[in-house]
A and B are shown apart, each in its own frame.
Chain A
Amino acid sequence: MRGSTRRGAVVAAAVGLTLVLAACGGDDDGGDDSGSGGDGGSSEGPTGSVSINSTQPENPLIPTTTNEVGGGNIVDAMWTGLVSYDSATGEPGLAVAESIEPNEDFTQFTITIKDGWTFHDGSPVTAQSFVDAWNFGAYGPNAQLNQYFFGPDGANIAGYDAVAGQTDDTGAFVEGSATAETMSGLEVVDESTFTVTLGSPNSLFETIIGYSAFYPMPESFFTDQAAFIEHPVGNGPFEFVEEVPNTSINLTAFADYAGDPKPQVENIEYRVYADLDAAYADVVANQLDILDKIPPVGLAGDVWKTDLEGRSASEPLTTRFTSMTFPLTNTEAWADPNLRKAISLAIDREAVIAAAYGPGNYVPANSWVPPGNDGYVEGTCGEWCEFDATKAQELYAQTAGVQGTLLISSNSDGGHREWVEAACTSIRETLGIDCQGDYDPDFGSFRARVNANEITNPFRTGWVADYPSIQNFLAPLYTSNGSANDGGYSNPQFDELIRQAAGLEGQEALDLYNQAESLLSEDMAIIPLWYDNGQRGWSTNVNEPQFTWKGYVDPLSISVQN
């Protein structure tokens, strides 16, 4: 599942204000209403051990360079940022931050942090811990994967360019082009206060800094990185015990954790599985406590519902969106919006999902933003996302049509070949044209072709949001210079609406985002396909855990049964 396990990456240039600022979020901090029945015994401290399925981290466990799920879940359990997202709603609330005060035009933020927070090694969490960590992440020669979160694609901190360095015409990094080691926009005022100056107004700043790239780092990291990689030190609810590569990563509850709620479970084993089917076998046999994703072997014929009766759940994920994108810059073949609409009309999403994933395991999409996100409006795609054979044929007849065979490109692993085949069947039967999959063996080779703009036929695009906001589903993907705009879609009106929304707050901003989204349905350069449902299971040893807005287990919600 390469494609869908990626945490996506950055944030886009313009930003909108979908969320009310700092102080208002404070009360919601960690609002965990279920409590899993462990509340009464909170004086006893955390008890028991649980295991959670994981993959081997692909990068060192440093927040600024961890961008995939295996490492990301562990980093999220080991660190707490200035802001954290509510598990259920994704709403950002203050965590380590005492307050985050913007100036009038959202270009400068004064951040004060709470007293009493320490790292697992006992050293205090100070303003400097954040500033140093952010500078480290942005500094070009450090080659951190999450670097762009500090630049124009993300928070856009002033002075980023000098720290990040330059690229040449081919996009390659110019050695020695980073002229400063610290960003001029970061200024430490005192032990617990720092100010952040941005390169452009960004009313979503508070939401963005909840992402793991913005976690603080202890002093020991900067003095001995090799030792840190062996034994990472965070400030979150769980501290690192040991890693047995390819087997497991073990964490234990941090006794001096300053946040709230406190951990209810003492030990967590993130157990590494090369094949998710084996994890499924384990959770059915009660040898694995929490499985955050049911693999196809369990979904087929809905066996998971009987295998895991009373200890499984399915709910829509608010963070994932699968679509099909038409390339517009390297070919003229798809320039006619009616052709794109005809193809969208010809895909029976319900039937494709049933054939590829089992009925009901995904939700047909009729907008570009999954439900559950602030600003979601049902049916922005309207008629164009509803299967309608007659209309598809009529519309198709008005166009020049598809020359030769219609190809749909994707990576063939991770269950993608199945839906491409099913979608082709649907298109073939509806429009009477030939349709075939065009596959790369894995996500890496597929993305290499997409990034190189080599694909001249429609191809799969999937998005996993970096942070919970409608802005993150629109700006990076569909603005002309968006960092993940794969098809080269460009609509000046759309760009302008997104830009304006970045300077506004609340409903005003949402209205502009919605207007921008409705432009997408006129152009249909990107066809919405479906939103993900998350299916998960747990053993009889634990109470039902909660899952984060990203669809991964919230370690603070885990408790063992008495």
Chain B
Amino acid sequence: MGRYVARRLLQMIPVVIGTTFIIYALVWALPGDPFAGRCGARPCPAAYVADMTAKYNLDDPLPLAYIQYLGNLLRGDFGETFQGLSVGEELLRAYPTTVKLALVAIAFEIIIGIGAGILAGLRRGSFIDNLVLVSTLVVVSIPVFVIGSVLQLFLGMRWGIFPATVGGDASLYNLILPGFVLASLSLAYVARLTRTSLAENRRADYVRTAVAKGLPQRRVIGIHTMRNSLIPVVTFIGADFGALLGGAIVTEGIFNVPGVGNLIFRSITTRDGVMVTGAVTVLVLVFLLVNLLVDLIYGWLDPRISHG
């Protein structure tokens, strides 16, 4: 187990270096000089361009500039935005909001997704089953920004049940609407996954044995079937959590949630390269760590899988 974790952590090093290099290269290799649009219809003052070029090592060849960046990164220095704000501090400020939003979304996936999946899986072919299948199909086929905008229009703007946007006040209540929108797609997958998995396991040998032993129905489903059926679901939710921590550009944009997705979106539009690279580096790390965690949980849930 320890060796497995160590190996996985070592594997992360080339992945992190590779992805950050690609992002760094892409951001700074965008066509045209990054300061061309900063002075409206005029070129920026030469002194300003020279100062910024020196500050971000833009005169150096790309690999050298990247190594300098990586060196600073290893010392925990993410650099500064054009505005002069510390990228590290900005990320620290944005992350809690994104984590909160992700947790709200995961809660929806668990409560509604698994709930609906169990109801459908236990009564295959029933009205409930068909309802779940049809409604999840609808959700899956509608893009998130449509769901988001429509819910915002009615629940937020027309009826005023929820605030239309979140802004600086990322309270739990304010995050319900964006959290639900963010969860909607995965929620549908979770419901379908639970349903299929449950339905399959109900025909498994060990369930038949348990029934033959005379165990009460509640115990057969509640303990034996459920526990095994939820293994793929837990994996899915875990991986989804990793993805949600990467911020949700569309949802955070619609509801003005000051999270990581919003930060990245703004930085891309203002071509604030240091911010984009810093944020993406952290995203990659978080995603890899969450994935490792999910794999470990998987082994713990399902003894057949061993990380020896």
Contacts and interface: CB of A to CB of B under 8 A. Distances in A.
A60 B83 contact: yes
Contacts of B142: none
Given A171-B46, A278-B253, A246 B83 contact: no
Contacts of B256: 273-275, 278-279, 282
Q: How large is the interface on A (under 10, 10 to 19, 20 to 34, 35 or more residues)?
A: 35 or more
Given A274-B262, A274-B265, A285-B163, A246 B90 contact: yes
Contacts of A483: 42-43
A476 B40 CA distance: 13
Interface in B30-89: 30-34, 36-52, 82-85
B168 A167 contact: no
B32 A445 contact: yes
Contacts of B153: 281
Given A9-B39, A486-B41, A147 B271 contact: no
A448 B90 contact: no
Interface string A35-74: 0000000000000000000011111100001011001000
Contacts of A244: 93, 168
A277 interface: yes
Contacts of B45: 143-145, 147-148, 164
B192 to A, nearest CB: 31
B117 to A, nearest CB: 33
Interface stretch (A458-466, A494-502, A528-536): A458-466
B263 interface: yes
A480 to B, nearest CB: 16
Which of A142, A272, A447, A486 gathers most chain B CB within 10 Å? Answer: A447
Contacts of B52: 143
B94 interface: yes
B251 to A, nearest CB: 11
Interface in A222-245: 229, 244-245
Nearest to A225: B84
B255 interface: yes
Contact of A274 (B34, B37, B43, B266): B266
A173 B41 contact: no
Nearest to B145: A277
Contacts of B271: 442, 444
B152 interface: yes
Contacts, number: 186
A2 B39 CA distance: 11
Given A273-B256, A278-B255, A145 B167 contact: no
A244 B167 CA distance: 11
A145 B30 CA distance: 22
Contacts of B93: 244-246
Given A9-B41, A144-B45, A246-B93, A58 B168 contact: no
A160 to B, nearest CB: 12
A68 B37 CA distance: 11
A77 interface: no
Interface of A: 2, 6-10, 55-60, 65, 67-68, 71, 140-145, 147-148, 164-165, 167, 171-173, 175, 229, 244-248, 271-275, 277-279, 281-282, 284-285, 287, 307, 440, 442-449, 451-452, 461-464, 476-477, 483-484, 486
13 contacts: A57-B83, A67-B40, A145-B48, A164-B47, A165-B47, A173-B47, A175-B50, A247-B258, A275-B256, A281-B152, A287-B164, A443-B37, A464-B40
